Amino acid sequence: MGRYIARRLLQAIPMLFMISVVLFALVNIAPGGPLSGHGRSRRIRPEKAEILKRQFGLDKPLPIQYVIWLVGNDWMRVDADGDGVTESYGERRGILRGDFGFSYRNRQPVLEEIADRLPNTIYLMGVTLIVVGIIAIPLGAISAVRQYSVFDIVVTTLSFMGQAIPEFWLGLILILIFYAWLNNPFTGAPLLPSGGMQTFGMGFAIWDRIQHLILPVTMGMVGWVAWYSRFLRSGMLDVLHQDYVRTARAKGLSEHLVVYRHALKNAVIPLVTIFALDLPSIFAGSLYVELLFSWPGMGRLYYQAATGRDYPMLMAILIIGAGFMITANLLADIAYAYLDPRIRYD
């Protein structure tokens, strides 16, 4: 197993390299560029655009830009002041030495910005995924065991609704009900906050944090719960008709043991794969949830970078995201082997 993991990790290196070339090309070739205005400055004065172009390094051919992005330019002379003379060494170290550059948007190191946002996203998405697991697995399992019961029908109906509901609309409705309409009968303040991670100026308080989580987690989990519970239900139904379940029953095991030890454990295996593949969203965040609930996470950071053509930020998020994706795939395979002893990697 150790060798297998080592091999997979080694394979990831050329893969990431290829991905980086393709992404760099795509990001730069896509129409539009960082030299146009945004917000109220519709256009940038040509004199300003010229300065920005040089400061962003966009005055060099694309392949050179890629090389600088990869290995930096502190080993070559650059023309920092635009007078046509390359007089000083560059300052970029390149991503191979951990320098992802600075954001075109606010001139801050890209990694710092990501480090600011990432914990917020992991926090929100982590809680969401845990809640999803807690709700979806019992729902799916019970509706499979009690196939065609009222419970099953209700869960099935709800999960179709959950999959069909537009996430953004659901969020708006949640805000309307729990922020605008319902009030805390004691304080008269809205029952739940409209967004943000905590009440400003309050310091850390568990209950306050939970209040701020309820709506975004609800919005983010509905689609997932629906999809996971459907998935588990069909997996479970499949397993319940397997011979080994019949054997377990024939042995005289209690129904509880049959269902929860023999059947559920096997039915969960494919779900683990899916779950592992969803793990990168812990990094990527959910744009709609973050937009609606003013959550300072990765989804908004990426959206902002994409709409503003902030190439260094885009590249950093995409490359780190690709790394997460590759890791999640590896995790899925390992978890698979662990849960299903028939699978061997060598």
The angle at the Cα of 236, spanning 230 to 242, to the nearest 5 degrees, equals: 150
Backbone angles phi, psi at 188, to 5 degrees: 80, -5
Instruction: In whole angstroms, give the CA distance from residue 221 to residue 124.
Output: 11
- Of 6, 11, 43, 169, the one binding other proteins (CB under 8 A) is 43
| Non-local CB neighbours of 221 within 8 Å, separated by 6+ positions | 128, 131, 132, 135
- Enter the tokens of residue 14: 């050329």
State in angstroms the smallest separation of the CB of 117 from other proteins. Answer: 6
Site for other proteins in 241-270 (CB under 8 A): none
Give the whole-angstrom CA distance, residue 33 versus residue 311: 9
- Tell me if 14 contacts other proteins by CB under 8 A: no
Closer residue to other proteins (CB): 89 or 338 = 89
State in angstroms the smallest separation of the CB of 144 from other proteins: 14
Q: Which helix (H) or strand (E) holds 88?
A: strand 88-89
Q: Which of residues 274-303 bind other proteins (CB under 8 A)?
A: 290-294, 296-297, 300-301
Amino acid type, 215: L
Contacting residue, 13, 18, 45, 130, with other proteins by CB under 8 A: 45
Burial 15-33 (b: 16+ CB within 10 A, else e): eeeebbeebbeebbeeeee
Tokens matching residue 37: 């205005």
Of 275 and 295, nearer to other proteins (C-beta) is 295
Among 14, 148, 164, 186, binds other proteins (CB under 8 A): 186
Considering the rule CB under 8 A, would residue 176 count as an interface residue with other proteins? yes
> Smallest gap, in angstroms, from Cβ of residue 138 to other proteins?
9
Residue 272 backbone zone (phi > 0: left; psi -120 to 50: alpha; other: beta): alpha
Give the CA distances from residue 154 to residues 132, 148, 174, in Å, rounded to whole numbers and listed in that order.
18, 10, 22
Q: Which of 9, 37, 246, 261 binds other proteins (CB under 8 A)?
A: 37
- How far apart are the C-alpha atoms of 213 and 297, rounded to whole Å? 13
Q: Could you say whether residue 41 binds other proteins (CB under 8 A)?
A: yes
Using rule CB under 8 A, residue 157 touches other proteins: no
Q: Interaction with other proteins in 47-76: which residues (CB under 8 A)?
A: 47-49, 51-53, 55
Judged by CB, which is closer to other proteins: 2, or 188? 188
Kindly determine how many residues on this chain lie close enough to bind other proteins according to the rule CB under 8 A: 90
Q: Which residue's CB is nearer to other proteins, number 158 or number 277?
A: 158
Of 40, 18, 22, the closest CA to residue 30 belongs to 22
Q: Which of residues 193-212 bind other proteins (CB under 8 A)?
A: 193-197, 199-208, 211
Site membership for other proteins, residue 230 (CB under 8 A):
no
Binding positions for other proteins, 74-113, rule CB under 8 A: 80-83, 102, 105-108, 113
- Of 2, 14, 31, 341, the one binding other proteins (CB under 8 A) is 31
Q: Which stretch binds other proteins (CB under 8 A): 65-73, 142-150, 229-237, 320-328?
A: 142-150
We find the least distance from the C-beta atom of residue 106 to other proteins, in angstroms, to be: 4
- Strand-pairing partners, residue 190, are 183
